Structure 1
Amino acid sequence: MKQIAEKTQLHPRNRHQGRYDFDRLVQALPELGNKVILSLRGEKTVNFADPEAVKMLNRALLAADYGIQHWNIPEGFLCPPVPGRADYIHHLADLLAQTGKQGIPHSASLLDIGTGANCIYPLIGQHEYGWRFTGTDVSKEALSHAQQIIQANPGLSTRIRLRRQKTPGAIFAGVVTKTDRFDATLCNPPFHASAQEALEGNTRKRKNLGLNDATPALNFGGQHSELWCEGGELAFIRQMVVESRTIARQVLWFTSLVSKAEHMRSIEHALREAGVAMVVKQPMSQGQKQSRFIAWSYLSPEERLAWAKKWVK
């Protein structure tokens, strides 16, 4: 099993370098102006403890940088940090470019596991690279809201389709058909191992922001399936590895975010047991937050190169 590791850096193609340009963002979404405040340094910002301010900031970023004029999520659903999600997409684009040796493909087909009500990865990926996405989720309500976003923005219905995962505990089984072929899968797994652990995590975040326990934590929103699963992130990814063997010839690259660095050794052990041909570990960072994704393929170098030839027109 060959492995490649790369240096940690904010991806150079990420549109969110440096501080937010609130003048530009307010121009894209004027109502954001009502949420802009001055920091102790006299710099424009928003109150990140205010769930509506965080959601409105996301709306402005998606409008200004990705052409998404209509985006919203219902109360209680996960509001994702756009810059970090974009970084995953750009590093994944580099992985595909290196595979095909012909630059970043603009005809790639991706599977987004757990697309959620926000549909964030397909929205960014289709705008940046013209990729087609299939998004899956266990929540009927989440998919309903994601579909509303797709229908509200012209052109997205031909680039993004949704499938519901109806089998409890399954990841690929039931949503990947025998005729499907995906250039890559991506996933932001449930982070916590239990509802109690998720609650404790929200409590720590509130304390870090200087908030009391009575303060709503909706800016860290998320449903059960978005925040926790039995065994947490590690169990989820190990299950993903097990299921990936059954569709090994239908996917070029399987990938997943890994929030906890201490999980990497166990995941790599699972990949060795699964008999993958290659593993790529990509560190990422956003401010003080360190993250990473892991990618694996069952195909040989010759098979991967042959697969990528279909991207060349």
Structure 2
Amino acid sequence: MHPRNPYRIPPDFKELALKFPEFRKHAKQKLSGKIEIDFKDAAAVRALSTVLLKRDFNLEVELPPDRLVPTLPLRLNYLLWVEDLLQLAKPPTEQLVHGIDIGTGACCIYPILAARMKGWHFTATETDEVNFKCSVDTLERNCLQTHVTVVKVSAESMLHGNIDTTKQYDFTMCNPPFFDSDSFGPKSRSEKRPSPMCPKSGGSTSATEIAVKGGEVKFIETLIKECHELKPCVRLFTTMVGHKSSLVPIKAFLKEAGACSWNETEFCQGRTTRWGLAWTFCDNIVLANPPLSRRKNNVKGPPPLNYSISREQWSSKGEFSVACVLLKSVELLNSLKMEIRKVKEKKDRKAVEFIAKENTWSNQRRRQREEKRIANQGFEQPELKKAKIDAATLEQQNNHKFRLKGLLLVEETDADFISLQLQWIEGGLGRESMNQILQYMKNHLLEK
């Protein structure tokens, strides 16, 4: 999952059930106390998407019962990948982003998310009357008409006649029907394995949304041909791909069409994997190595940094519990001017996500020594000396793009020990930043 995807940490279903009655009726409590929903139940998936859009993006959406339910982790993975690619395709001095969503679906999901999160502008096309009316209603309900225009089009063309070719567009995106209407059903990776039901979860769809004559390969081949003719007004073309086996023939079509550069990636959300394919006909844009590529499954990320505290070490601090250790740890992170977000809650295991927009932890010991020396001497430090102390972080503090994101996990390992784990997610100086923050916590966590 993309590092900036907010659903890297799954939503708390218990919290959603308490806050939203429409979700509560689909929530079921297991004997262990864990709250779950049936992801094969379209109504439950629809309720989940609706309440997450409301809670996390302030978007009021009503999804029709007989159309495809947009699952947010996948949609956000696609949007965030497009944002990464735009860093390669779009000069940083240009602020306005205008995209095209081909077949926008029941609620214009990509455009409304991008408009709300990024302020992007969209032209969204749709052939289905129900989807078109629902998308128009969604835009009006959320006052997004100035950012998104929905166009009712015929199924005969994807781009021709559907967009204003006098304008310049930054990208297209598309979530094509994955299956062949002549041989309906997903491909099985082995002849011995039975073909799974389609779709696997949240199976409330119309046939035209998930199946088309020739399947996704034929659909995207047609799209590539239209893209080639519209290359003067669109910088970057992208599409989602449902089957990994489709990538080889589609890339052969791209080569035949004369694409200057193309790139693929994976969108992995739990048990579901999709693929993204991007290409361009602009010879000044290189998509060979995008800013973000999903690591292969056999490549492990850096292990978390660990620090263990014993009951004896904590004796002077009061109650020895996960909650108390987490509270003190959060106080230290707050002292470093970090933004804290609670992500997990259990009696013996708690976690928070933290975000820093400036480096406030480097050279802490040197700063403390200088502050102590100044206090003891009773006079102000010379300006030149101050500058030397702050030099290590001045550049990052002046850089408004600096950002570090990490995860703190506090867990009871046994009755007499509690462990702290710091996991780097993105930004900063990577593991080096985590090491510095952990060292700061070690120096101050057991202070009286």
Q: Shared fold (TM-score greater than 0.5)? A: yes
More strand by share: 2
Aligned-pair identity (%): 27
Q: Please tell me the residue identity of whatever aligns with 1:144.
A: K
Aligned counterpart, 2:40: 49
Partner of 1:135: helix, strand, or coil?
A: strand
In structure 2, how many angstroms separate the alpha carbons of the residues matched to 1:153 and 1:195?
A: 39
Unaligned runs of 5+ in 2: 189-194, 288-448
After superposition, the Cα gap between the structure-2 partners of 1:256 and 1:200, relative to the gap in structure 1 and judged at 3 Å, is closer
**Matched-pair contact (CA < 8 Å) for 1:26–1:60:** no
Query: 1:73 offset after TM fit, Å?
Result: 1.9
Question: What is the CA distance between 1:97 and its match in structure 2?
Answer: 1.5
Corresponding residue SS for 2:180? coil
Is this contact kept in 2: 1:147–1:162, CA < 8 A? yes
Give the C-alpha shift of residue 200 in structure 1: 9.8
Distance 1:234 1:95 in 2: 23
Q: Which residue of 2 aligns with 1:256?
A: 239
Partner of 1:165: 153
Aligned to 1:309: none
Letter in 2 for 1:120: I
- Counterparts of 1:252 and 1:164, CA distance in 2: 24
Aligned to 1:100: 90
1:138 and 1:225 in contact (8 A); partners too: no
Superposed displacement of residue 261, structure 1 = 1.0
Distance in 2 between the 1:291 and 1:158 partners?
Answer: 31
Output the CA distance in 1 between the equivalents of 2:206 and 2:26: 25
Alignment pair present for 1:269 and 2:248: no
The aligned counterpart of 1:58 is 49
Q: State whether residues 66 and 123 of structure 1, in contact with CA within 8 Å, keep that contact through their aligned partners in structure 2.
A: no
Q: Does 1:130 align with 2:116?
A: no
1:91 counterpart residue number: 81
CA distance in structure 2 between the partners assigned to 1:257 and 1:206 by the alignment: 17
Q: Does 1:140 align with 2:123?
A: no
8 A contact 1:28–1:63 mirrored in 2: no
Distance (Å, rounded) in 1 between the aligned partners of 2:89 and 2:179: 33
Does 1:232 pair with 2:209?
A: no
Which residue number in structure 2 is paired with residue 81 of structure 1? 71
1:1-313 paired onto structure 2 within 5 Å? 10-26=1-17, 29-39=20-30, 41-68=32-59, 70-100=60-90, 102=92, 107-154=96-143, 156-166=144-154, 168-194=155-181, 197-198=184-185, 204-205=196-197, 219-301=202-284
Post-superposition CA distance 1:16-67 (Å, at most 9, x none): 1132212443465333122211246531121223322211111111011111
Deviation string 1:159-211 (CA, Å, 9 cap, x unpaired) is: 11101222x3321112022213210100010011117614999x8338978xx
Deviations 1:256-290 (A, max 9, x none): 00111111111111111111111111222111222
Is the CA contact (8 Å cut-off) linking 1:165 and 1:175 kept in structure 2?
yes
CA deviations 1:76-127 (Å, max 9, x no partner) are 1011211111100001101101333639x75210100010112111121112
Structure 2 SS opposite 1:157: coil
Quote the offset at 1:303 in angstroms.
10
In 2, Cα distance between equivalents of 1:228 and 1:100: 34
Residue type at the aligned position of 2:45: V
Distance in 1 separating the partners of 2:166 and 2:147? 18
* Structure 2 equivalent of residue 216 of structure 1: none
CA contact (8 A) 2:70 2:109 kept: yes
Q: Please give the secondary structure, in 2, of the residue aligned with 1:221.
A: coil
For residues 274 and 147 of structure 1, what CA distance do their matches in structure 2 show? Answer: 35
Contact 2:89 2:235 in 1 (8 A): no
Bigger Cα Rg? 2
Q: What amino acid does structure 2 have at the position aligned with 1:171? A: M
* 1:120-160 Cα distance to aligned partner (Å, 9 max, x none): 11121112211111111111221011111111113x11111
Change (3 A) 1:114 1:198: farther
Match of 2:298 in 1: none
In 2, Cα distance between equivalents of 1:207 and 1:299: 36
Answer whether contact 1:106 1:130 (CA < 8 A) is retained: no
Deviates more, 1:26-35 or 1:254-263: 26-35
2:140 counterpart letter in structure 1: Q
Contact 2:261 2:285 in 1 (8 A): no
Corresponding pairs, count: 281
Structure number with higher helix proportion = 1
Q: What's the secondary structure of 2:6's corresponding residue? A: coil
Q: What secondary structure sits across from 1:204 in the alignment?
A: coil
CA drift of 1:224 comes to: 2.7
1: CA distance, partners of 2:198 / 2:35: 22
**Partner Cα distance (2:32, 2:230) in 1:** 53
State the superposition RMSD in angstroms.
2.6
Matches of 1:293 and 1:303, distance apart in 2: 16
CA contact (8 A) 2:173 2:237 kept: yes
Task: Name 1:4's counterpart in structure 2.
Answer: none
